[in-house]
Structure 1
């Protein structure tokens, strides 16, 4: 499978999560391309089997403007879109935690719930990221679980 991981980041946490997702998918034999939203021209999303879109949550649970611009630039809703988000429960508690990822998953009618990451994915959250990446690949019929050994 050929995945595009597009992400918006300010602090680097969303980029770190994108890289970790890519590591798990690549170890399973999949090809992964990256796009930093707001810093590069938008690639042709139709060249990929799936889009994995990552965003932090902004201003009381909002989707950042650069992510909205990316969506407009793509111009359509790719069928296989999966969402992950980074957030911090100290700002708004559970109600606003990774709220942008929930909104994006609803907008894209994502086949899986969004992956929600508290700040950095390293340490205690790596296993959750790995399991989510496997579910993404399985959802596309890629059988990642049988190809990855940890």
Structure 2
């Protein structure tokens, strides 16, 4: 079970969540590559059994600048039914809460990926309920690989 977990984080929240999820998946026996989205080659996603994308939402509901190239490259990638899930921390104070999570979910579906979990949006700092939803997402990804 080779899983890529790629993330972008401005405040450190998404990095914290990504590290938590990576550790959880490793405990469950997955081989996890954890990397920042700016260093991720969208054309290499099919080398993995599953891909998890984590992003915050920038400004007016935008994909963050450092994730833009990856996001745009996804339009030219055939994921060949690669399993995927998306999550991210944002703020419910903003009208566009978690919009980048929605954009990534739509783009990965459009790129012929197979979504194996509902997307998870977390309001700012994760609490124990949020970490449970993160673990559930991880469990769904792993279950899809068996």
Could you tell me the TM-score, scaled by structure 1's length?
A: 0.80
Query: How many pairs does the alignment contain?
Result: 137
Residue matched to 2:29: 29
Any gaps of 5 or more consecutive residues in structure 1? Answer: 142-150
2: CA distance between counterparts of 1:103 and 1:73? 13
Residue matched to 1:81: 84
After alignment, is 40-49 or 14-23 more displaced? 40-49
1:37, CA displacement in angstroms?
A: 2.1
Contact 1:9-1:56 within 8 A present in 2 as well: yes
2: CA distance between counterparts of 1:88 and 1:41? 25
Residue matched to 1:58: 58
1:6, CA displacement in angstroms?
A: 0.7
> After TM superposition, where is structure 1 displaced by more than 3 Å over at least 4 residues in a row?
40-44, 71-75
2: CA distance between counterparts of 1:41 and 1:60? 24
Contact 2:56-2:89 within 8 A present in 1 as well: yes
Give the secondary-structure state (helix, strand or coil) at the position aligned to 2:128. Answer: coil
1:71, CA displacement in angstroms?
A: 3.2
Residue matched to 1:42: 41
Any gaps of 5 or more consecutive residues in structure 2? Answer: 110-114
Q: In the superposition, relative to structure 1, how do residues 100 and 126 fare at CA in structure 2: closer, same or farther (>3 Å)?
A: same
Q: In the superposition, relative to structure 1, how do residues 139 and 86 fare at CA in structure 2: closer, same or farther (>3 Å)?
A: same
Q: RMSD of the TM alignment (CA)?
A: 2.0
Contact 2:6-2:52 within 8 A present in 1 as well: yes
Give the secondary-structure state (helix, strand or coil) at the position aligned to 1:70. Answer: helix
